[in-house]
Amino acid sequence: YSYFLLVSLVLIFKSTGQKTNRKITLHLISIVSLLLQAQKKRTRRRRRRRKILSSLDPSNNMSKETKPRVVCCIGDIHGYFTKLQNLWRNLESAIGASDFASATVIFLGDYCDRGPNSREVIQFLVSLPSRYQDQKHVFLAGNHEFGLAGFLGLVEAPSDGSGFETTWKGFEEREEEEGWYKGEGYEKMHLQARMWGGTTRERFDAYGIEFMGSVYDAAPTFESYGVPHGSYDLMKAVPEEHKKFLSNLVWVHEEDDVCLETKDGIKKCRLIAVHAGLEEGKDIEEQLKFLKAKETKFPKIMGLSGRKNVWNIPKELSENNNDEKGTVVVSGHHGRLHMDGLRFIIDEGGIAPEVNPLAAIILLPSIKIVRDTDIF
């Protein structure tokens, strides 16, 4: 602005036929200098005023500690350690090192079975809290971990005092076909644990894929711990820190004030993470209470193992999602990537994780899908 003023004055002198001698030029420079000093004073006053106003307004004083965390939800891993390592690196690249270091990372369950490295995957997960101390980690139980934990005797008995035999009494006609485990300790196992550790009579599943030992494809998990499929020696082979990890898995997790970019703008949402989903037609709070209590009295835990009945977001929640604050329900389990409104299913590995990518969803608050196969 001052340079423009100086040039303008010189041009005015020239247009009137007057020559700009040294004395006039120095006089013009002194005028411009005074103008510059006045401008600097005004700028300093404005900055001081903004600083004072900012200190009085909490919304303008958001520190790093109060900044909303990035939320990342990782789909079913199923014993593929290399894929998990690649995805973890890609997440850091996609989010940025600083935000990744303080992110909330929710693992959606199904860490074991099918792939060859269940032990390595669980060890990686066990190590995360000490390696990434500023991150928040949430580890959900999938139906596969429920079977493994039940086989290892890590699942609490039903709260009504009944034994686990009540979960398989009345279904014995399916025992031979599904190949329930009948070895040592079976009397104290949940039905899903017996199915997990048994040997199925059928060779192929409904998709034409060959079973790996049991209907849960548990043989690779046994082998990763150095014991044959169906061996009760797995009890001794699994390290205590892995048993503790499996015991502490949660069945549902809620996160408040998750910032999410929607078609209606950015919302602060409630997030519910559960491996399979929430049942339609049943009271939401009752379901959450049941899942938080890790109640084991039923033969099948729908929040961990359901299919069509937990696919959609329950009507009770979807009806409120047009409000200022909606509810996100995020799951894995279903063998595909599905995003419909605020219902997210993140399991792109599906029934063939050896060839399909391992995926995660990032809420930045913009929504981003990251895969182990991505190149950054």
List of residues 6+ apart from 57 with CB closer than 8 A: none
Q: Chain centroid to CA 161: how far?
A: 35
Please report where in the chains the tokens 């799951």 appear, as a residue.
331
Q: How many residues does the chain have?
A: 376
Residues β-bridged to residue 269:
258
Which residue has tokens 């039940």?
150
Q: Alpha-carbon distance 69 to 51, whole Å?
A: 26
- Describe the chain by its helix, strand, coil percentages, rounded to 5: 40, 15, 45
Cα first-last separation, the chain: 44
Joined tokens for residue 112: 């074991």
Residues 353 and 118: their CA atoms lie apart, in Å, by 13
DSSP H or E run through 28: helix 22-56
Measured CA to CA in angstroms, residue 110 lies from 120, 139, 295, 334 at distances of 14, 10, 19, 11
137 in active site: no
Nearest to 105 by CA among 79, 135, 130: 135
CA geometry: angle at 275 spanning 349 and 230, to 5°?
75
* Residue 91 Cα distances to 108, 118, 272, angstroms: 16, 21, 21
Q: How many CA atoms lie within 13 A of 210 on its CB side?
A: 3
- Please identify which of the residues 78, 144, 333, 334 carries the catalytic annotation: 144
Q: How far apart are CA 139 and CA 193, in angstroms?
A: 20
Instruction: State the Cα–Cα distance between residues 50 and 56, nearest whole angstrom.
Output: 10
Q: CB of 252 within 8 A of CB of 274?
A: yes
Backbone angles phi, psi at 369, to 5 degrees: -100, 130
d(CA 14, CA 16): 5
Catalytic residues: 144
